[in-house]
Each structure stands twice: as C-alpha cells, then as structure tokens.
Amino acid sequence: MVKLYGIFTILGDIWVYNPIMWSREFGLMSSFANKLGLGFQQVSLKQKSFENARNSVQNLLHNKYPVAFPYGTAGVDITDLFVYKFTGKSVGKLKYNCTECGTASTSATKVTSLFTITHKRYNSIQEHIDANNNKTKKCSHCDKDNSRTYEYNSPQHFRMIGFTQNSQDIEISKTIILKSDAGPVILPICGAIYYTGNHFVSRIISPTGEVWYHDGIETKCQCIHEGHLIDFSECSLKYHGSKRCVGVVYSV
C-alpha cells in the first residue's frame, strides 16, 4: 500500500499537544481515526513505533475496503481516505428555521468532520465555507427561504478540508470561521497535504505558526523547517514545488 505519511504526520503533531482531548476527538470522527488515536497512545508509551501505528490503520482500511486501499504500489485516492477517516460519525445536525412562519426542520444530511470542495466557485476555502453556510431552503409551509444553522454535538475543535481534481487551485485560508448555533468558531491551519505521482508530502504548522516540511521518503522521520506562516501567502500554500494541495487540516 502507498505509505500515507502526510495526514497521519499532521494528526500525530496535533495529538501530542493535548493527548487526552485529541484521543477523545479522534474517537468522535470515525473508527479509523479512533484506532489512530489509540496507536498514538501506544507510541507515547514506547509500546509501538509511529510507523506501526500508521500501518495498523492502513491495514484496517485495506481489510474493510481492499479495492480502495490495495497493498503494493497501486495509487490510493486521497478523497477515499478523507471520506472513510473523517465521515464515519456525525458531529452535529443541520437545522433550518423559517423566520416568516416559525417552522423548524432538521436536514437528513450528515454533518461530519470533513468539508469537501468539489468545484472551484470562489477564490478561497473560507469563501466556499461562507457560501455553504449561506445556502437556504424553501419552507415547506410558506415557501419562504429558510436560514441554515449547524448544531454541533460538542465544541468544534477540528475540520478537514478536502479537494477534488476540479478544486485544487483554491487559496488556502490561514484560518477558517465555522458557523454554529453557539456562535462563530475560529480554527487556524495546522497542516496541508500535497500530492503528485502517487506520492504525498505535508506541511505541518505548529501552534506558534512555525512551518515544517515532511516527506516520508526523503526526510524519513525528520521535518525541515521552512519558516513562519506569516512568510507564506494564502496563494503560495496551494503548492509545494510541483505538488498541489489536496487537503488542509484546521484545529484548535
């Protein structure tokens, strides 16, 4: 199986800053993320290596979805990884409220930790999120536009943004603002995954804004310091050399 270092490296870096909270948060995302959190706990106790923790999740993915996650050197669709890893469990509800007649309804649409941008309609990630937040739905009683609100099961600490081939030219917002019934939630960027030729690399952004580059093949277990987030424009974060950004992680 292609070694999916990028996303696992970013999640590992998030986890070390608050192991108790993130082990719980990973458990709220999916069974695969939960297993990764358990693996990180074993790594911290020196019971398992990081590579073994990552491989155990990859093996679980292969056993459940052998076509999407084959062994060998065959390519893996990063979109599949995002879907299976971050959409297993619902993190909240999407509610509509009519200000005209007072009718309230709950959408059957599953709210998860993943927000996928399928086509480039706006310049940045935040603009796509805002457009999604501002979508309306006709009231079933009075036919007026209903506003939408996200009602989350718990405070939001994480969001995975995924791209498709039709949306990989979007500026990478350094922070995103999520709309919730409890008020706006601001999440800073903490990592980005880049891809070309069946090979993934990543940038890891620390809570202090330091930017590190990781390549499981070239740098192995080492990360290379690239500067501070302030040194990067939202446009330049779209690329790392010839590789395009295929996913961005935001977290507290």
Q: What is the mean pLDDT of each run of 10 residues along the chain (252 residues)?
A: 69 95 95 95 93 90 89 74 94 91 90 96 97 89 89 95 92 96 94 85 96 85 94 96 95 96
For residue 5 the two structure tokens come to 């270092």
Q: Model-level pTM?
A: 0.93
With contact defined as beta carbons under 8 Å apart, do 117 and 162 qualify?
Answer: yes
Q: What one-character-per-residue DSSP string does 103-138 give?
A: -EEE-SSPB-SEEEE-S--SSBHHHHHHHHHT--EE
Q: Which CATH number fits domain 5-251: 1.20.144, 1.10.287, 3.90.70, 3.40.1130?
A: 3.90.70
With contact defined as beta carbons under 8 Å apart, do 212 and 223 qualify?
Answer: yes
pLDDT at 136 (0 to 100): 87
